[in-house]
Amino acid sequence: MRATLRRMLAILDGTPTGARGQSLVELTLTLPILMVMLMGLTEIGWYANNFLTLLDVVREAGRFGATKDPTEWSDGQELNYSRMDCEEDSSRFDKLAENNPTWPGPDLSAYPTLLSYQYADYGERPGGFYDAVACTVIRNMAPLEFDDQTDDVIVSVFSFFVINRGTTSAEVRIFGRYPARTNECEIDDVYDPFDWNHNSSGSDIDEDAAYFDSGSDNVRGYVFRGNISHDYGASVPCLGSTFSTADVETMLNFDGNSDQERKLEQAANYGLVLVEVYWEHHQLLGLPWFNFGPLEDAMLIHVWAFFPVSAAEPDLDY
């Protein structure tokens, strides 16, 4: 009994007991666990760093768009894919030879019923609003690289106004979504962005009948590459933005916010630019046991930002 007690006291005091190799056994058992934890933290840090970099990039592009005028864009040019390679800044970002009609850009033959414009003119042009915003993303995302085959930049502009402005019954309505030829997804969009009264006619006072259409474009927003599509159960997938017009209108009305009434009472007519970036994330270490959740290899990171743009404010009073 005394020998056992002495041995216990020696262990508690840290006195050597004659047992050899105990630390080595403990290290052997715990080292794999510690290494897995360390590699996991490395992958999480890598993902977080890339996510935050993209978030800064999309906000910078949104701030750039907020200072420009989307109404200067020529209708239909959002479907001319010669604008989708940042060629206007070739001295800094020369991605390809001039006058190349096939790359970069999506396979236009996959959407023959959607894109009715001609693609004969592939010459150099000065940058407009939407391609300039998209190219701002490309120029500012270093050290990350934009992959023409997997990544994408999508830009949308919204005009909205307030019904019963300044009262407790105020309500925000989307007046238009631009570019006007690429603003709807079949099934997911329940009304046309230019049908602010949601009666499927586009004939109410102040509605822009020139842009209203009863069909669906199945392209939503200015699409830089055409790599991102969404299947809503329509005959063809919808290119571009994940946000429907109804989604944005819901956000502008502060649905579910406990302070909704006060915020809507103070709301005013304005415009918004929405910039979305899809970027394919790849693991730093390439270890298969981390292929889950956001750490999965080739997982698409989707970041987005809304910024006010005064040039898109509608001149309406309700």
The pLDDT of residue 100 is 39
Question: Parallel, antiparallel, or unpaired for β 171-178 and 152-163?
Answer: antiparallel
Q: Can you tell me the distance from the alpha carbon of 135 to that of 95, in angstroms, rounded to the nearest whole number?
A: 12
The pLDDT of residue 160 is 92
pLDDT digits (tens, 9 = 90+) for 147-195: 878 899 999 999 999 988 888 888 999 989 999 888 889 999 988 888 8
The answer to whether position 254 is within a domain reads yes
Cα–Cα distance list, 295 to 33, 148, 287 (Å): 19, 22, 10
The pLDDT of residue 278 is 96
The answer to whether position 30 is within a domain reads no
The pLDDT of residue 127 is 63
The pLDDT of residue 116 is 36
Instruction: Read off φ and ψ for residue 316, nearest 5 degrees.
Output: -130, 155
The token duo for 277 is: 């970036």
- Reduced 3-state DSSP string for 283-299: CCCCCHHHCCHHHCCCE
Taking 50 as the pLDDT cut, the residues of the chain under it are 88-126
On the 0-12 / 13-18 / 19+ scale of CB atoms within 10 A, 90 is middle
3 state DSSP class of 162 = strand
Range of the domain at 168: 53-312
The total number of structural domains in the chain stands at: 1
The pLDDT of residue 256 is 85
The answer to whether position 59 is within a domain reads yes
The pLDDT of residue 275 is 97
Average pLDDT, the chain: 77
The pLDDT of residue 178 is 92
The answer to whether position 1 is within a domain reads no
pLDDT digits (tens, 9 = 90+) for 164-176: 888 888 899 998 9
The answer to whether position 189 is within a domain reads yes
